Chains A and B, each alone.
Chain A
Amino acid sequence: TSEFNLTDVLFFCRKAMENVVDDDVTKRFSPQKLDSWNLLTRNNHNFCHISLRLKVVWVLGLLLRYGVLLPLRWLRSCLSDKVHLMGCHICVRSLSAIITYHNRQNKPQNDGICVANHTTPIDGIILANDRCYSLVGQLHGGLLGMIQRAMVTSSPHIWFERAEVKDRHLVAKRLIDHVADKTKHPVLIFPEGTCINNTSVMMFRKSSFELGCTIYPVAIKYDPRFGDAFWNSSKFGLVRYLLRTMSSWAIVCSVWYLPPMNRKEGEDAVQFANRVKSVIAAKGGFVDLKWDGGLKRARVKEAFKEEQQELYSRLVVGVSQGADNAASDSAKES
């Protein structure tokens, strides 16, 4: 039978004293005590002089941490840009690319989107040789995905998961947020969406032009006499393409930086896109086409045929002279 004893209080006393000496909780809220000192005074509670040798070591550690590690980490972002540029220079040399940049005063700034005509994946390297850009694209698996993820650790790129690509609002939001941040590099977008053989500029997708950001157009023209830079992705893969490129005479190209453009009042995204496209086409000497580069792989939409049928129908049924001229003009164009 358990009964009350006068000395039962001693049990509670003992427990209390144990907790006064050491308890499980309060020590969790102050820095962890280390078995051996890590040469940081912030980790040493009862800091006192132990030996001269230790003091010397501590001073050296102090110099290293504040003189070397701290500035290096601070400079990291500006160093990372330099490293990137150096890497690009090396890539460009390996392709024997001779690039002439024109109108460098119009080089894209951190507050906008850079758009250019697309001929080859090398376009990115050609442009990145002159300044750093943030790339946009779908996140891949495998080696390319690993490279993409590695790139993000040093500067912000916008990689989308496959599912997110379909969500236009999400894409738009991420782009707007990125552009709004003045410390981030300009986004590099190729609005044609596919590689064209550098003789024409095809339809620019309107999504980049809907965002309301400043557009920096760039025209890239390759000289075909020294090597064909066009990647015919339906004929050969990336590896063969690189082989062909590296075994040509050289990649000679001109890059024209065009003055920044913004959407005008009353201009919709499509009109703005077309305006930018014609500027690029004019500078690079390309044929300005309204056709979609996606026609490389996809069939043309039925709607265009229906448009022609509708115009002809008006002719047959007999309408005013003005509509007649319009109908015959559009018939000539196609």
Chain B
Amino acid sequence: MGSRASTLLREEEIEEIKKETGFSHSQITRLYSRFTSLDKGENGTLSREDFQRIPELAINPLGDRIINAFFPEGEDQVNFRGFMRTLAHFRPIEDNEKNKNPTASEPLNSRSNKLLFAFRLYDLDRDDKISRDELLQVLRMMVGVNISDEQLGSIADRTIQEADTNGDSCISFQEFIKASLVEKLCETCF
């Protein structure tokens, strides 16, 4: 009486994931059930095809990049731990977390970790800088064919101009964080 025994989740594993990601016990078992239902090959790992099989994800303009974010550098399979670690970035922040021990390590779903996730979506070559090309690439993915090259180029230029403080025509992670704060302020004002 048991399901696919080789991929059964053990209590110790659940505890470890709980500590690392902050998900609750029931959330982890639920997400494990989701993981196994996506795992068509039944080998305990997900491939890029497994993700692509989700229609709503496949039609997401940034779908490919986001799926990519699940996979460790240069690998084609992601296991449940890696799956949970990536999802943890978007775990909703609960009230009881806001007053946590300040000496504890930063949770995965903190704002700065979310921003790092977003930054990595742009920074394909992992040189810790978003170049004009990389920015254009992401822009093109999001708008499709609806905006001309020149218009898109001018949007990219303007964005870099506003965010770039050290004049290297690229956006570093620090500049990225500062720019997002500015955007956040603008959002609250308007």
**A-B interaction:** yes
Binding site for B on A (CB under 8 A): 3-10, 12-17, 19-27, 30, 45-49, 55
Residues of A contacting B3 in the complex (Cβ-Cβ under 8 angstroms): 45-48
Interface centre among B122, B183, B184 (most CB of A within 10 A): B183
Is B121's CB within 8 Å of the partner chain A?
yes
User: Can you name the residue of chain B whose Cβ is closest to the Cβ of A33?
Assistant: B33
Q: A6-B176, A6-B179, A13-B66 are in contact. Are A46 and B115 (CB under 8 A)?
A: no
Task: Give A320 to B53 CA distance when docked, in angstroms.
Answer: 94
Is B144's CB within 8 Å of the partner chain A?
no
CB distance from A14 to the nearest CB of B (A): 6
Is B80's CB within 8 Å of the partner chain A?
no
Binding site for A on B (CB under 8 A): 1-3, 8, 29, 31-34, 36-38, 51, 53-57, 60-63, 66-67, 87, 89-90, 114-115, 117-118, 121-122, 138-139, 142, 155, 159, 163, 171, 176, 179-180, 183-184
Residues of B contacting A10 in the complex (Cβ-Cβ under 8 angstroms): 114, 118
Task: Give A322 to B54 CA distance when docked, in angstroms.
Answer: 93
User: Can you name the residue of chain B whose Cβ is closest to the Cβ of A50?
Assistant: B1
Partner of B139, one of A4, A30, A47: A4
Which DSSP category, helix, strand, loop or mixed, fits chain B's interface? helix
Partner of B57, one of A9, A16, A46: A16
Task: Give A161 to B62 CA distance when docked, in angstroms.
Answer: 60
A-B contact pairs, 13 of them (CB 8 A): A4-B139, A5-B180, A6-B159, A6-B180, A7-B115, A9-B142, A13-B62, A17-B87, A22-B34, A45-B33, A46-B3, A47-B3, A49-B1
Contact B66 A46 (CB under 8 A): no
Task: Give A3 to B154 CA distance when docked, in angstroms.
Answer: 12
Task: Give A45 to B121 CA distance when docked, in angstroms.
Answer: 35
Contact A15 B31 (CB under 8 A): no
Q: Which 9 A-B pairs have the closest CB atoms?
A: A17-B90, A12-B62, A19-B56, A16-B66, A19-B57, A25-B55, A5-B183, A7-B180, A23-B56
Q: A4-B139, A22-B34 are in contact. Are A9 and B121 (CB under 8 A)?
A: yes
User: Can you name the residue of chain A whose Cβ is closest to the Cβ of B138?
Assistant: A9
Contact A6 B34 (CB under 8 A): no
Q: A30-B37, A46-B29 are in contact. Are A20 and B51 (CB under 8 A)?
A: yes
Contact B57 A20 (CB under 8 A): yes
Residues of B contacting A13 in the complex (Cβ-Cβ under 8 angstroms): 62, 66, 90, 117-118, 121
Contact B56 A24 (CB under 8 A): yes
Residues of A contacting B114 in the complex (Cβ-Cβ under 8 angstroms): 10
Contact B37 A26 (CB under 8 A): yes
